[in-house]
A and B are shown apart, each in its own frame.
Chain A
Amino acid sequence: MPVVDIDTDELRGLTGEDKTDEEFKQDLFALGLEYEGDTEDGLLQFEFGPDRLDRLSVEGVARSLRYQYGADRGVYVPETNDADWTIEVDPSVPDERPYVTGAVVRGVNLDESGLDSLIQLQEKLHATMGRGRAKGAIGVHDLTMLKGQALTEESEPSGTINAASSDLGATEKTVTYRGVDPEGDRFVPLDANTDMTPAQVLTDHPTGDTYAELVEDLDRYPAIYDELGLFSFPPVINGSRTEVDAGSRDLFIELTGTDQWTIDKMCVILCYALSARGGTVEEVQVDYADGATYPDEYGPELLRPDFDTDEKSVTHDRIETMLGVEVERDEVVDLFERSGMDAAYSLGEEETVYDVTVPPYRVDVLHPLDLVDDVGRAYGFNELEPSYPDIGTIGGRHERSRLERAVRTSLVGLGFEDMLNFHMTSGAENYDRMRLDERDPGADLSEAPLGAEPAAVITSPYSEDYTQLRTWALPSLVQVLENNTHRTYPQDLAEVGFVAHRDDDVNTRVAEDYRVAGVLARTDATYEDAKARVQAVCDDFDADVETPATTHPSFLDGRVAAVVVDGESVGVVGELHPAVLVERDMEVPVAAFEFSLSALE
């Protein structure tokens, strides 16, 4: 879950409330932000659900608090000035990262803490909506360091003037989003002293190294140019020429990514935060040139940031049913306004419907029921009186779960200690240490010893101890014995548990089964002891059991039999092979069995 670091002095300034840290913690818990601890710099850390991404900065959190305190009501949209800058999108932009958006913000009072907050918001948006910069990446630049070439016929890449773009008219200044050959141009990236090519950045710069995997397979890398050359290499790093510092007042924001809506919304959240610091937002024109991929739903000509509000309607009935309380209509409107929305209702013939205006930073509102949630939060969910629903249903357990319990009771009655082992294991434990050879997927398993079935393998596992599902349960019990040689004997252990193996004939490609398995580890354990217990369990469930001789690599030849219940071979019983025991430094014989739970149905 996202964590936001809050400077409470800033919070006091931005909310206009002179509250203590403790009071803020209480108020924020009510908003769903849970205090987690302090940073090294004395900031307070709050964790929250990844829905309200507009709260990833102190500015956004302050805005939410102002609504909670009633200092603000209703939808707020910052004023914007007309565009002075255009981002041209050249057809050379890599297809894998086609979209761009942006904004200009002038007259921001950044100072050190404002700059820290901006950097935090940028990083956290990258981590959440930006999906680690893959879906959306932000570059913020000092506008005064940019030089935009005038839009003249000569200076433009050919073919960019078309009927669509002339509708919006030309702006004074332009930057270009285009593709660059990995070795094509040089620039000085942030935190570097020399100029490099984009390819060199990926290999020689620490930030480049981190994000290399996002672009390294592309033929051309994404890049943004002004009149002076390359100043941004998204999604990897900015150039140092346009670096923002605490004294920067006019900012140029650009975002690139794989989804226009996503980068537009990230841009909106940034603009709201900078506007709260006194910045004036100025639109930026985005022109997708002929041949460049543009977003179908918006067309090739965009004015950004997109501060358009959204309209959704919700019925009064749905609000009351969901909250389980009666609410006055005007109170609902009030609750909407205290959530930063506007609402109007008309008394229809059958039901009241609220037409709700949703501000553009609310990326989480997908459906009318999200509006109900906002009303509930503003009302205070903890104000609601719990009530047990008056609904009659019949409870009961699944048949297999009843069978499992009955078998477990039999085993415990026979003196077994009930075990509960992991379902994941490694090939070494499941096969090798049991002297088994894994069969190939699709091989005929009719003659295969129990446990030798092909594994359902985990794709690139973290840990070499957990690389597959166990195909049988006995190895787990033998592992428990191995880990407990210092404990008192006898150790009679049993498990009724899950096993699985790969089987492409099954719908999920994994054949799942439940097994009854037991081990008797004691100085005088013999085949007979294991068979006696198999008989006892089978007898409890009225199952006829026979034990014809068989061979199995995990067991001692001549002391191992198949467990045949009602004519079907369902498992194995015998004395474990001395090699299995000695390899684990075990000094007592072990008699063991395993068979399918379904045999006892």
Chain B
Amino acid sequence: MRFPQAQVALLEAASATDAKPIEQLAEETDLKPETVTRAAFDLRDEGLVAVDERVEESATLTDEGETYREAGLPEVRLFRAARDAGGTVGMGEAIGASGLEGPEVDIALANYARKGYGVVDGGEVSADADADPDADEEAAALDALAAGEVVEDAGLLDRLESRGLVDVDETTVRSVTLTDAGVTALMEGVEAAETVDRLTPELLTSGEWEDVEFTEYNVEADAPAVEGGREHVLRGAAERVKDVLVGMGFQEMDGPHADADFWINDCLFMPQDHPARTHWDRFALDVPPVRDLPEGLVDRVEHAHREGVGEDGDGYHSPWSEDFARAIALCGHTTSLSMRYLSGYADADLEPPQRYFSVQKAYRNDTLDATHLLEFYQIEGWVMAEDLSVRDLMGTFEEFYRQFGIEEIRFKPHYNPYTEPSFELFGEHPETGEEIEIGNSGMFRDEVLEPLGIDCDVMAWGLALERLAMLTTGAEDIRDLHGTLADLEFLRNAEVTY
């Protein structure tokens, strides 16, 4: 019969009459004890050996036990001090003479009378003349354990363990005996199957793999860490948003990050003296003004600002200059892309119905902290159709947020210069249950649409991708998610979302 190497060695070393402990067998076979144990259990399962298990207690001295073994037990030292001082002596004097310190004093007093060394009473220690400290069985047991001998008295061991002087450990001792079947197998002859560590190309091509035994690995052991490449967690969130929007029938927009204020603000009916257009909020670029703007559109936009749109329309009572409209800045929102597309400037003129979106950078001159970045990804989307209602807007956004686990949106009437009606969207945080702002939306105003040449309805909304990502990943500091301050450890450990 063929057995793995270790099992063959074990069979040959084991005896039918003499139960041999694993340690002894390991020594005889020159194998590791755990290898022998595993071989023994495998052979037992085949009925070739019997394994006898016995629990053995072994006691070892603790550090405290070792200290008392060398210096003497505290009660014994107290007794000797009292006896040497004449038999009955004041407490202070006895302790002074014994050299006991700190907790040793209490230990000595607690064990003194129990072990019959005498009486402690009224501040005096008396030594019993009959007591013999050299016959102290606890001290003797400590010496015996230190010498590697066995202490049989279970009660004595218990006392020493409860005094914290010894540790008692239980170990299972296994011994192996050959069964009759094992003896028979040996008589019939056993040989070792060859074991191999790695499967090699030679083994595969030669067909040798059929005859070899593969060494068993410890499959539970830790493997070395591998850092694979992975998509950035925020990028993953952006991809997810794009997938959802494409699934809802939205086309992606693309356009410049640095653009004329005309596209960023004027087309959106933002008055030129609006606080968001001051130096403090926007990143103006130190470059010459834009070369070309669509001429007719500039006039129509200026007219909307000055005079309003429609018979009953009023304009703003704010200054308007084309120079300001031509100045270049980093986009404070990606709605500039929507303006480029809706006007037909980015691509062809659009006929309803249309759905468009973008997930692109917006730049705000803000203070950098745990929830604010100077640049962030804005999700922007709009739907163009004849006769859209506020209910369509609500239905579209409910559907979008539901994809991210946010149900039950509340619409708070809001004000934007470019939309009317406008709504801030509030939803419940999926983890904390707190009501938080999750977006801003509305129907584009006539003053925005008419200059662009659109005569149907357009509803739009926007929100920061980072906000959505913080909601879905639980990240608490936005700076971990985005930018050169990124911590690789955070990115490597971030959970993949899908």
**Contact at A412–B231, with CB atoms within 8 Å?**
yes
One of B229, B317, B355 near A417 (C-beta < 8 A): B229
The 8 A CB mask of A249-268 against B (1 = contact, 0 = none) is: 00000000001011000000
List chain B residues, Cβ under 8 A from A395.
245-251, 355
B420 near A386 (CB under 8 angstroms)? no
Residue of B nearest to A401 (CB): B252
**CB proximity to B under 8 Å, residues A375-408:** 376-377, 381-382, 384-389, 391-398, 400-401, 405, 408
Instruction: Check: B486 CB closer than 8 A to any chain A CB.
Output: yes
Q: Which of chain A's residues 45-79 have a Cβ closer than 8 Å to chain B?
A: 48-52
- Restricting to A558-581, which residues have a CB under 8 Å from any CB of B? none
B410 touches A387 (CB 8 A): no
Chain A contacts for B225, CB-based, 8 A:
488
A262 to B318 CA separation, bound complex (whole angstroms)? 9
Of the listed residues B245, B248, B373, B420, the one surrounded by the most CB atoms of chain A closer than 10 A to its CB is: B420
Alpha-carbon distance A212/B143, docked complex (angstroms): 94
Q: Which residues of B lie under 8 Å from residue A492 when comparing CB positions?
A: 229
B113 within 8 Å of A (CB atoms):
no
Q: Which residue of B lies closest to A466 (CB)?
A: B374
Are A512 and B257 interface neighbours, CB within 8 A?
yes
Cβ-defined contact, B353 with A391, below 8 A: yes
User: What per-residue 1/0 map shows which CB atoms of B187-210 lie under 8 Å from chain A?
Assistant: 000000000000000000000000
Docked Cα-Cα span, A14 to B184, in Å, equals: 108
The residue on A at minimum CB distance from B421 is: A373
Q: Determine, out of B99-107, B157-165, B167-175, B395-403, the stretch whose residues face the partner at the interface.
A: B395-403
Q: Shortest beta-carbon distance, B369 to chain A, in Å?
A: 12
What CA separation (Å) do A590 and B136 show in the bound complex?
A: 73
Q: Which of A4-12, A225-233, A454-462 contacts B (4 or more CB under 8 A)?
A: A454-462
- Which of chain A's residues has its CB closest to B252's CB? A398
Please give, as numbers and ranges, the residues of chain B lying within 8 Å of A458 by CB-CB distance: 283-286, 330
Q: Give the distance in Å from the alpha carbon of A313 to the alpha carbon of B310 in the complex.
A: 11
B411–A367 contact, CB under 8 A? no
| Residue A135 is within 8 A (CB to CB) of chain B in the complex | yes
How many residues of B are in contact with the other chain, CB < 8 A? Answer: 99
Known A386-B398, A393-B354; judge A480-B484 contact (CB<8 A): yes
Interface 9-mer from B20-28, B215-223, B382-390:
B382-390
B69 at the interface (CB under 8 A from A): no
Contact with B along A323-366 (1 / 0, CB 8 A): 11100000000000000000000000000000000000000111
B-side contacts of A322, CB under 8 Å = 389-390, 421, 443
Q: Kindly name the residue among A29, A421, A494 whose own CB sees the greatest number of chain B CB atoms within 10 A.
A: A421
Complex CA gap A382/B257 in Å reads 36
Knowing A386-B398, A393-B354, A414-B229 touch, does A509 contact B288 (C-beta < 8 A)? yes
Who on chain A is nearest to B314 by CB? Answer: A366
Stretch at the interface among A85-93, A184-192, A497-505, A523-531: A497-505
Q: Does A415 make an interface contact (CB < 8 A)?
A: yes
Contact A510 to B390, CB < 8 A, known contacts A259-B317, A313-B312, A368-B312: no
Contact A417 to B491, CB < 8 A, known contacts A322-B389, A408-B231, A509-B328: yes
Q: In the complex, how many angstroms separate the beta carbon of B340 from the nearest chain A beta carbon?
A: 11
- Docked pose: A395 CA to B330 CA in angstroms: 28
- Shortest Cβ distance from residue A329 to the other chain B in the assembled complex, whole angstroms: 19
Contact A382 B410 (CB under 8 A): yes
Report A-chain residues with C-beta under 8 Å of the C-beta of B388: 389
The answer to whether A423 and B361 touch across the interface, beta carbons within 8 angstroms, is: yes
A491 CB within 8 Å of chain B = yes
Which of B30-38, B81-89, B118-126, B232-240 interfaces with chain A?
Answer: B232-240
- Residue B54 at the A interface, CB < 8 A? no
Chain A, interface size category, equals 35 or more
Which residues of A255-309 are within 8 A (CB) of B?
259, 261-262
Is there an interface contact between B249 and A393, defined as CB atoms closer than 8 Å?
yes
CA distance A463 to B420 in the complex (A): 36
Complex CA–CA separation, A414 to B175 (angstroms): 54
A143 in the interface, Cβ–Cβ < 8 Å? no
Q: Which residue of B lies closest to A48 (CB)?
A: B415
Are B310 and A385 touching (Cβ within 8 A)? no
Inter-chain CA distance A16–B72, complex, in Å, is 91
Interface string of B301-315 (1 = CB under 8 A from A): 000000011101111
Q: Does B290 contact A (CB under 8 A)?
A: yes
Given contacts A322-B421, A368-B310, whether A391 and B385 have CB atoms under 8 Å apart is yes
Q: Most chain-A Cβ atoms within 10 A of its Cβ — which of B239, B363, B390?
A: B390
Partner of A367, one of B292, B313, B330, B421: B313
For residue A484, CB closer than 8 A to chain B, the reply is yes
Which residues on B sit within 8 Å (CB–CB) of A469?
A: 257-258, 330
Contact B285 A456 (CB under 8 A): yes
- Contact present for A366 and B447 (CB under 8 Å): yes
CA distance A369 to B310 in the complex (A): 11
Chain B residue contacts of A490, Cβ below 8 A: 227
Q: Is B446 touching A367 in the complex (CB atoms < 8 A)?
A: yes
In the complex, B259 has a CB within 8 A of chain A: yes
A489 to chain B, nearest CB (A): 9
Q: What separation, in Å, do the CA atoms of A405 and B445 have in the docked complex? A: 35
Contact flags (1/0) for B395-431 with A, using CB distance below 8 Å? 1101100000000001111111000111100000000
User: Are the CB atoms of B231 and A364 closer together than 8 Å?
Assistant: no
**Residue B279 interfacial (CB < 8 Å):** yes
Q: Which of chain A's residues have a CB closer than 8 A to the CB of B253?
A: 398
Q: Is the CB–CB distance between A262 and B317 below 8 Å?
A: yes
Q: Complex: how many Å from CA A366 to CA B446?
A: 11
Q: Give the distance to chain B from A130, nearest Cβ to Cβ, in Å.
A: 11
Closest Cβ of chain A: how far from B319's Cβ, in Å? 8
Complex interface: chain B residues within 8 A of A417 (CB): 227, 229-230, 232, 488, 491-492
A121 at the interface (CB under 8 A from B): no
Q: Mark B487-498, 1 if CB is under 8 A from A, else 0.
A: 111011000000
- Residues of B contacting A418 with CB < 8 Å? 229-232, 235
CA distance A488 to B489 in the complex (A): 8
- Check if B180 is an interface residue, CB within 8 A of chain A: no
* Min CB gap A33→B, angstroms: 10
Is A181 an interface residue, CB under 8 A from the partner? no
B252 engages A504 (CB within 8 Å): no
Q: Is B279 a contact of A460 with CB atoms below 8 Å?
A: yes
Q: How far is the CB of B182 from chain A (nearest CB, A)?
A: 51
Indicate whether B275 reaches chain A with its CB closer than 8 angstroms.
Answer: yes
Q: Verify A394–B251 contact, CB threshold 8 A.
A: yes
| Cα(A500)–Cα(B247), bound, Å | 32
With beta carbons under 8 angstroms apart, the residue of B232, B257, B313, B416 that contacts A498 is: B257
Q: Which of B260, B287, B318 meets A456, CB within 8 Å? A: B287
How many whole Å from A528's CB to the nearest CB in chain B? 19
Say whether, besides A262-B317, A367-B309, A466-B374, A392 and B353 are in contact (CB < 8 Å): yes
- Please measure, in the bound complex, the distance between the C-alpha atom of A115 and the C-alpha atom of B313, giving whole angstroms: 37
Complexed CA–CA distance, A419 and B290 (Å): 32
15 contacts between A and B (CB under 8 A): A367-B447, A372-B421, A373-B421, A387-B391, A387-B392, A387-B395, A389-B383, A395-B250, A420-B483, A420-B486, A459-B279, A469-B257, A483-B484, A509-B290, A512-B258
Interface residues of A (CB under 8 A from B): 29, 31-32, 34, 48-52, 131, 135, 259, 261-262, 311-313, 321-325, 364-370, 372-373, 376-377, 381-382, 384-389, 391-398, 400-401, 405, 408, 411-424, 456-463, 466, 469, 476, 479-480, 483-484, 487-488, 490-492, 494, 498, 500, 502, 504, 507-510, 512
Given pairs A395-B251, A423-B257, 15 additional interface contacts (CB within 8 A): A259-B318, A325-B391, A367-B314, A381-B411, A389-B388, A393-B250, A414-B229, A422-B374, A423-B363, A479-B484, A483-B484, A487-B489, A500-B258, A509-B288, A510-B258
Question: Can you list the 7 inter-chain pairs with the closest CB atoms, starting with the nearest?
Answer: A324-B389, A49-B415, A386-B394, A324-B391, A51-B415, A395-B246, A509-B287
Chain B residues with a Cβ under 8 A of chain A: 225, 227-232, 234-235, 239, 242, 245-254, 256-260, 273, 275, 279, 283-292, 308-310, 312-318, 328, 330, 353-355, 361, 363, 365, 368, 373-375, 383, 385, 387-392, 394-396, 398-399, 410-416, 420-423, 443, 445-447, 482-489, 491-492
